[in-house]
Structure formats: C-alpha cells, structure tokens
A and B are shown apart, each in its own frame.
Chain A
Amino acid sequence: MRLVVAEDNALLRDGLIRLLKANDCTVVAAVDNAPELTAALAGTEADGAVLDVRMPPTFTDEGLKAAIAVRAQRPGFPVMVLSQYVEQLYARELLASGQGAVGYLLKDRVANVGEFVEGVRRVVGGGTVIDLEVIATIMARHRQEPIDRLSAREREVLALMAEGRSNQAIAAALFVSEKAVAKHTNSIFTKLDLPVAEDDNRRVRAVLAFLRV
C-alpha cells in the first residue's frame, strides 16, 4: 500500500510512519499541514491517505475538510481520518458522499497496531471503519427508523460491521459461527431494502444506513 500521511505533531507522525512501514506499507509523502497535503495528494500516486483532523494553519478541522475536498475531486479515494476526539457529526460528513473507503478513528486506536493496520487495509480496499465511540452513541438511540426493524443480534452485527470488521472477526467477537454471521448480514441487507450487489458495496450501504447519512 502506498500512503500519504498528514499529522502535525512530529512525534506522532514519525510513530505512524514507523508503524506503517513495519507493516508493509509505503509512505510516499508525510506532511504536517493541510496545504501541503493537497499538493502531496495531487503530486503522488497514492492508494490512500492517513490524516489528522486538527492541523495548521487554523488548528480546527482542516484534516476533515481536506479529506472531503479530495474525495469530491477523486470520488472514493480512501481516507483514514484520525482524531483526539470523535463526533458523530464528522462521521456523517465524511460519509455524506455515499461512498465507502472511509475510516474515522480515535488516535488511541493506533496503539492496537494490528487492528489499526487492518483497518487501513479495509479502507484502502473500499470498506468503512468507524470508531467504537461513534457506534456506541448511535446504538443508544431509540428512534423510528429502518434500523429499528433489525433484531438486537442484527444490530450488534451491524455495529461490528460499521467498525470495519470482517464476518470472521464478527463471528469471533460474538462467539458464533461464520455461517450464522452470514445469515445475519443477509437478513440485515433484506430488512434495510439494500439492492442486490456485491457484498462489499452492500456492507458500506448498510453502514451508511446505520449512520443515517
């Protein structure tokens, strides 16, 4: 995987680069601000980008804005957005374009290197990886919407799907067989009226329905 890394804190940037390189990723560019990120994305052949939300010049949400801007030009360009805090609002904005290939995680999650790198791989492969904290606030809602048609188990499966887990990982987390998970996912797709398409695409659409974007 060829990645662009944008993070203004030198320690964290070096750590990220080291961690990605150790896991067979190539960092083609590493920048510390939003304007340079735009230039780097235009000038290099990257498979995806790992971005910090808060960066110079204004130290607010330029990472997020840059991610949305680059995906407006190159629809479906994979971005993994990292932040010190997560907001459902931002997750919805990232996914508003209706395409997958989006990751949105707390920086803390990087500590679990294996899972983090797996998440980046999923995003580059077109999947969607949303932070546990965002998922938790959504699961706490009780509203009349298509999601309510799902059984408790199916909601659990969908939440894990939104975190970016594969059927195999979901099966392990819920202590059921992979076959049972496949049955649940099919039922979720049917209940959410998702048209027949390849599995990856349907998973992304199910997650979008979950986030209601």
Chain B
Amino acid sequence: MKKPGPLRLTGIALLHVLLFLPSILFLVLTVAGGVLTVLTIGIPLLLVSLPTLHWITDRHREMAAEILGSPVPANRLPTTGAPLIQRLQIWARDPMTWRELAWVLVSPISFVLSLLTVVLLLVVVTGAFWWYGAPHIMRARATIDRILLSQGHTEKLEKRVVDLTESRAASVDHSAAELRRIERDLHDGAQARLVALGMSLGMAEDLFARDPEAALQLVTEARDTTGAALGDLRDVVRGIHPPVLADRGLIGAVQALALDMAVPVMVTADLPGRPPAPVESATYFAIAECLANIGKHAAADHAWITLGWTHGVLAAEVGDDGRGGADVDRGTGMRGVMRRLGAFDGTMRVSSPDLGPTIITLEVPCVLSLPRTMPSSGTA
C-alpha cells in the first residue's frame, strides 16, 4: 500500500480534530445512558450513542490503517439479527466496547498530536517542521489508536484457540467419514469380487475332471472378475491419494485432471517448489471437486485453473464461463472441501452471479519445499 504524503496526513489530522468533540460528547452520553439504564430511559440513549461511537471508532480505524499500511480490524462480537435489547447485552459483554470507551478517555493526548500537525502547516513559518514531522507525529497517533482499538494479544489467542478447536473437530470428523467411506468401498467392491472369484475358481476346480467345457467357462468368468476387482481398487486408490499426484505433484496432477474434462480447461501454474503433501492433497481434491461441479452443473464452454504461490499462500482459482448461480451450501462435496482446507487454515471464496462466470478461489497458507518446478501453461 502507498504511504500517504504530508498533505494527506494533515487532512486526516483535520478529521481527527473535527471528530474529537463528537467522540467526547458520545462518551458522556454513553456513560449517562449506562447509569440511567436502571430508569429504562437510558436504554434508548445507549441505542443511539453506542452505534455512533462504533461509527466514529471505525472511521479512526480506517485512518490508522491507512497511515500504518496494515489493517486495524474491529472484531466486535456479531449482533446481526439480535433484538435491540439483546444487542445492548452483547455490547456490554464485548471487550471491544470497553476498549473503545477507554480510547475516548485517552483521546485528548492523541487530539493534541493531530492538532499539532494541522497547526504546523497553518503557521506557515513552521513549514519545514511540518514537512518532516507530520509523518512521524501521525504514525505515533495512529499507533496509539491501533493499540486501543484492536484486539489485545490474549483476545487474539483466545479467538485462535476457538478457531483451531472448531477446525480440528471438523477435520477429525472428516477423516472418520473418509475412513468409513473407504471401508464401505472396499467391502462392497473389491472384497465382494474376490469372494466371487474364489467361488468361481473353486467350482472350476470341482468341474475340471468331469466337465472341462464348463470349467473353462468359469475360469473365463474368474478372469473378468479380477479385472473388475482391480478397477474397484483403482477407484479407491484414486479417492485416497491419486497416483498421478504422487508421481507429478500438484501441477502435473491438476493438468491430468484438466485433460480428462469434457470441456477444454486452460491450466496456468507456477509454483517455486512443492507444498507439503497434506496441503497438496487437500488442494488437489478441492480443485477436482470444483471441476466435477463444472462438468455436472455449469454447462460451460471453457474453464480455467490458475495455481500460484505468493507471500506464503498457495492460491488456486477455478473458473468457468457457464451459467453461474452456484450455491456452496447445496452440495455436500463443497462443504467437505472447505472442512478439509480448514484444517490448514485454508479458505474458499465463491463468486457465481446468475449467468456466470463462476470463480472459486482457494487459498492455503503453507511453506514450499524445493526443488523448483518449471512454470507451465497450456490448454487441455
């Protein structure tokens, strides 16, 4: 992000100065409202003053984010859909509300900093101080805002623990379901066929002396059964870890997927190394699911896949020019994909307006290992 120049910083400082009095006013109103809740008239007061304070602090977060070049998220507890009275309870419980009130209490200090920036410019003779000083002063001001208006270390860790507990439970569920599926596939497929094979051969053994013709017939059947059993096993193996992924890594495996599609799929991929095997596998199955959906629902003429890695994040985009309107919550496949990616802090975004195009973006933070694979692109 481009750093704002001294003039822009002074503009921000002016906004700070202008918002100072309203923030003090609404702090007073909030405190008054809080005290008066016992008399119920405080409730409507709070319902006005707190959202206004939220608005004011959000503007300050945006300004601090612009000055510091990194986001300052609010991370309030969600209140959407809750009735008004319940919202008040949520706000009262939310540590962020108390942080914001504390921020207003401290704001006279930061107000002085912003005012100084504006004054240095207005008193023309101090122009040199302004030119060199403004960035430093405003950085200091923004840092104070950030410390008070974003979550503390402990809160961040608590949030992280909650997220990890959820994603761990989901991935345990997912692997348990996968194991059950594999067990069922083997039981109904290859195992059953091997039993049939044994029976055919046993009968052939019995018949061999008496009726060689019939025995030959049974042996031929047995051979066909081995073929079918091998086919079943191949399907199971593909579902666990596709051999082409083991052989060629993510790029090669995705190219192989693209080739097998009925519609042409353009693959553009450049990875400076190989992602860890579990990430590779999760990403591969995610892309496979996206492609399967394109084949089943999209009625597309063309599709494309881009694979890349920047700033420690493996990103894949799967797009098609089909009819759009894809709904993630409708299919179980996509939910499985999200759970699997979630285990690696991966995310999935879907953009699918009616009439298309559908673009699915998958992102997984990971470290790549050498050696380097060659960049490649081509239409399958």
Contact = CB atoms under 8 A, between A and B. Distances in A.
A200 interface: no
Pick from A89, A108, A112 the residue with the most CB of B within 10 Å: A89
B250 to A, nearest CB: 13
B45 interface: no
A61 B248 contact: yes
B166 to A, nearest CB: 36
A166 interface: no
Contacts of A60: 246-248
B152 interface: no
B260 interface: yes
Interface stretch (B58-66, B81-89, B105-113, B226-234): B226-234
Nearest to B233: A84
Contacts of A92: 259
Interface in A101-160: 106-108, 111-112, 137, 140-143
Please report whether the interface of chain B is mostly helix, strand, loop or mixed according to DSSP.
Answer: helix
B226 A87 contact: no
B223 A111 contact: yes
A108 B262 contact: no
A74 B311 CA distance: 45
Contacts of A106: 230
B227 A141 contact: no
Interface in A83-101: 84-85, 87-89, 92
A85 B246 contact: no
Please report whether the interface of chain A is mostly helix, strand, loop or mixed according to DSSP.
Answer: loop
B264 A85 contact: no
Interface string B242-257: 0110111000100110
Contact of A89 (B237, B255, B261, B264): B255
B3 interface: no
A137 B227 contact: no
Contacts of A107: 230
Nearest to A111: B223
Q: How many residues of A sit at the interface, in one of the four size bands?
A: 10 to 19
Nearest to B238: A85
A85 B227 contact: no
B345 to A, nearest CB: 29
Interface in B197-247: 223, 226-227, 230-231, 234, 237-238, 243-244, 246-247
Q: How many residues of B sit at the interface, in one of the four size bands?
A: 20 to 34
B263 interface: yes
B87 to A, nearest CB: 55
Contact of B226 (A54, A85, A108, A140): A108
Nearest to B255: A89
Contacts of A142: 262-263
B247 A61 contact: yes
A150 B24 CA distance: 80
A63 to B, nearest CB: 11
B244 A87 contact: yes
A62 B285 CA distance: 25
B217 to A, nearest CB: 16
A143 B231 CA distance: 28
Contact of A111 (B227, B252, B261, B264): B227
B263 A85 contact: no
Interface string A39-64: 00000000000000010000011000
- Can you list the 7 inter-chain pairs with the closest CB atoms, starting with the nearest? A60-B247, A89-B256, A61-B247, A88-B259, A108-B230, A137-B260, A108-B227
Interface of B: 223, 226-227, 230-231, 234, 237-238, 243-244, 246-248, 252, 255-256, 259-264
Given A61-B248, A89-B259, A141-B262, 7 more contacts: A85-B234, A88-B256, A89-B248, A89-B255, A107-B230, A108-B230, A108-B231
